[in-house]
Amino acid sequence: IIRLLFSKTYKLQERSDLTLKEKEELIEEWQPEPLVPPVPKDHPALNYNIVSGPPTHIITVNGKECINFASFNFLGLLNNEKVKSAAQASLKKYGVGTCGPRGFYGTFDVHLELEERLAKFMRTEEAIIYSYGFATIASAIPAYSKRGDIVFVDEAACFAIQKGLQASRSNIKLFKHNDMADLERLLKEQETEDQKNPRKARVTRRFIVVEGLYMNTGDICPLPELIKLKYKYKVRIFLEESLSFGVLGEHGRGITEHFGINIDDIDLISANMENSLASIGGFCCGRSFIIDHQRLSGQGYCFSASLPPLLAAAAIEALNIMEDNPDIFQTLRAKCERIHKALQGISGLKVVGESFSPALHLQLEESCGSRENDVKLLKRVVDYCMNSGIALTQARYLEKEEKSLPPPSIRVVITVEQTEQELDKAASLLKEAAQSVLN
């Protein structure tokens, strides 16, 4: 026994003893991969469309003038004179950049004003602004959800949410898109797990992350059922309203107004200002208890320069316009329904999305086999339309990085500025294009 105690512990030899010469040989022989693999010249995402001039209602793409059905300019505020003059005034007062993060002399009075206005508009206690739309939700999620916490997220969540979840290192459980039964099943499984280990369950936080209007599929989440599940299983809800802010609801307040739900029931609403508000950046709103935490621990907030004041002023003016004209939301919805109806029945293409969603997808009814061929086919449809005066684009994804890759599709965006004739023209043109290319 004493011998065992005193003998050296048996350790697996981690390091082989290589001589200096052998080491140098290894260093000589090692060949790394090239930093980036070469990209084939005809990769669909390599050649961008060059837009000369402002991306407004009439857009000049690659030299051709077209009607814009591809920019997310839902309320037509991109070219609005009042918005532009507000931004000009702010440019004259503050210059362009803010030269610092929010903590170090980068907080301007326009930022504070915008935060107050957004909180008042959305009827919450507080709002916080980020300078980049993608970074908003990608910084908000890791601020609350850490390693060991559990997040239930929809399969069709957008890429920014996926990156936020990856940065948070929590356990992620995907449930089928808009399938409340599947979510309930997962929640029940989690509950039985919790009962086995109540001490751990008392400290693991649980979140559901959903989008108001999904970018990848164009439909909305069933929020009333989610609220019921929230109180039943004690999970918190984070709602991402990038597409539904300024679109759904009587006054444009998003999906909570659409369903008539008390906004305090949702723990955090995050949206980006790049769609309806025609500015740059994003915001999160909710109760002070929740939002204040992000001021110290939101990575995209603390470690990054603040939003340029001219963009904040543009957003404030856009909010003013939204508050003063609540009937544009009705008009937008009517146009969406019109084109949704008009696009039904195109041979070869099916419409994916709710009838009141301003961002639809047109997918191939039957795929031709490989994704590459589908993409090429859709490109021919898009080119046909562009040559005849309607600017469309394919929905772009990073194929290798997405968790659940949606099928290739054409993105159709409806804005308030498009007239009825233009909508009809677009529908008939798409019918023609589908006929000629797909048959």
Partner 1 sequence: MLVAVLTYVGYGVLTLFGYLRDFMRQWKIEKCQNATEREEQKDFVPLYQDFENFYNRNLYMRIRDSWNRPICSVPGAKVDMMERVSHDYNWTFTYTGRVIKDIINMGSYNYLGFAQKTGACQEAAAKVLSQYGAGVCSTRQEMGNLDKHEELEKLVARFLGVESAMAYGMGFATNSMNIPALVGKGCLILSDELNHASLVLGARLSGATIRIFKHNNMQSLEKLLKDAIVHGQPRTRRPWKKILILVEGIYSMEGSIVRLPEVIALKKKYKSYLYLDEAHSIGALGPSGRGVVEYFGLNPEDVDVMMGTFTKSFGAAGGYIGGKKELIDYLRTYSHSAAYATSMSPPVVEQIITSVKCIMGEDGTTVGRARVQQLAENTRYFRRRLKEMGFIIYGNEDSLLLSLLSRIKYGTFYNSSCSCSATTGIIVMISLSLGSAFGREMLKRNIGVVVVGFPATPIIESRARFCLSAAHTKEMLDTALKEINEVGDLLQLKYSRRRLVPLLDRPFDETTYEETED
201/437 with CB nearer partner 1: 201
Exactly one of 304, 320, 355, 388 binds partner 1 (CB under 8 A); that residue is: 304
55 sits near partner 1 (criterion: CB under 8 A): yes
Give the DSSP per-residue string, 140-192.
HHHHH--TT-EEEEETT--HHHHHHHHHHT-EEEEE-TT-HHHHHHHHHHHHH
Measure the CA–CA gap between 352 and 395, rounded to whole angstroms. Answer: 13
Structure tokens at 305: 């320069």
Measure the CA–CA gap between 197 and 200, rounded to whole angstroms. Answer: 6
Min dist CB 78 to partner 1, Å, is: 5
Is beta strand 64-68 parallel, antiparallel or unpaired with respect to 390-391? parallel
Residue with tokens 């025609």: 278
70/186 with CB nearer partner 1: 70
Scanning 95-103, 319-327, 340-348, 368-376 for contacts with partner 1 by CB under 8 A, the matching segment is 95-103
351/386 with CB nearer partner 1: 386
88 sits near partner 1 (criterion: CB under 8 A): yes
Residues near 126 by beta carbon (within 8 Å), at least 6 away in sequence = 115, 119, 285, 286, 287, 288, 291, 292
398 sits near partner 1 (criterion: CB under 8 A): yes
CA distances from 230 to 180, 248, 405 (A): 12, 22, 28
Binding mask 410-439 for partner 1 (x = CB under 8 A): -x----------------------------
Scanning 67-75, 217-225, 245-253, 322-330 for contacts with partner 1 by CB under 8 A, the matching segment is 67-75
293/376 with CB nearer partner 1: 293
196 sits near partner 1 (criterion: CB under 8 A): no
What is the SS3 assignment for 24? helix
98 sits near partner 1 (criterion: CB under 8 A): yes
Residues 354 to 393 in contact with partner 1, rule: CB under 8 A: 391, 393
Phi, psi of 258 (to 5 degrees): -60, -45
* Rg of the chain taking only CA atoms, in angstroms: 26
Min dist CB 214 to partner 1, Å, is: 14
Phi, psi of 270 (to 5 degrees): -125, 140
405 sits near partner 1 (criterion: CB under 8 A): no
Among residues 335, 406, 333, the alpha carbon closest in space to that of 364 is found at 406
284 sits near partner 1 (criterion: CB under 8 A): no
188/366 with CB nearer partner 1: 188
Start-end of H helices in 155-281:
159-168, 180-196, 198-203, 223-233, 255-259
Residue with tokens 């308030």: 416
Contacts 24+ apart (CB under 8 A), 421-426: 422/67, 423/335, 423/338, 423/339, 423/342, 424/342, 425/67, 425/389, 425/390, 426/67, 426/69, 426/339, 426/385, 426/390
Exactly one of 67, 70, 122, 137 binds partner 1 (CB under 8 A); that residue is: 70
199 sits near partner 1 (criterion: CB under 8 A): no
Exactly one of 68, 124, 270, 363 binds partner 1 (CB under 8 A); that residue is: 68
Min dist CB 347 to partner 1, Å, is: 26
23/341 with CB nearer partner 1: 23
109 sits near partner 1 (criterion: CB under 8 A): yes
308 sits near partner 1 (criterion: CB under 8 A): yes
Crossing angle (nearest 10°) for helices 327-343 and 420-438: 30
Residues 139 to 158 in contact with partner 1, rule: CB under 8 A: 144, 158
93 sits near partner 1 (criterion: CB under 8 A): yes
332 sits near partner 1 (criterion: CB under 8 A): no
160/284 with CB nearer partner 1: 160
Among residues 402, 362, 367, the alpha carbon closest in space to that of 382 is found at 362
Scanning 172-180, 198-206, 252-260, 371-379 for contacts with partner 1 by CB under 8 A, the matching segment is 198-206
2/298 with CB nearer partner 1: 298
138/349 with CB nearer partner 1: 138
Q: Count residues contacting partner 1 (CB under 8 A)?
A: 122
Exactly one of 64, 65, 95, 383 binds partner 1 (CB under 8 A); that residue is: 95
What is the SS3 assignment for 409? strand
100 sits near partner 1 (criterion: CB under 8 A): yes
327-361 as b/e: b if 16+ CB within 10 A: ebbeebbebbebbbebbeebebbebbbbbbbbbbb
Residues 223 to 282 in contact with partner 1, rule: CB under 8 A: 231, 234-236, 264, 272-275, 277-280
Crossing angle (nearest 10°) for helices 420-438 and 371-387: 130
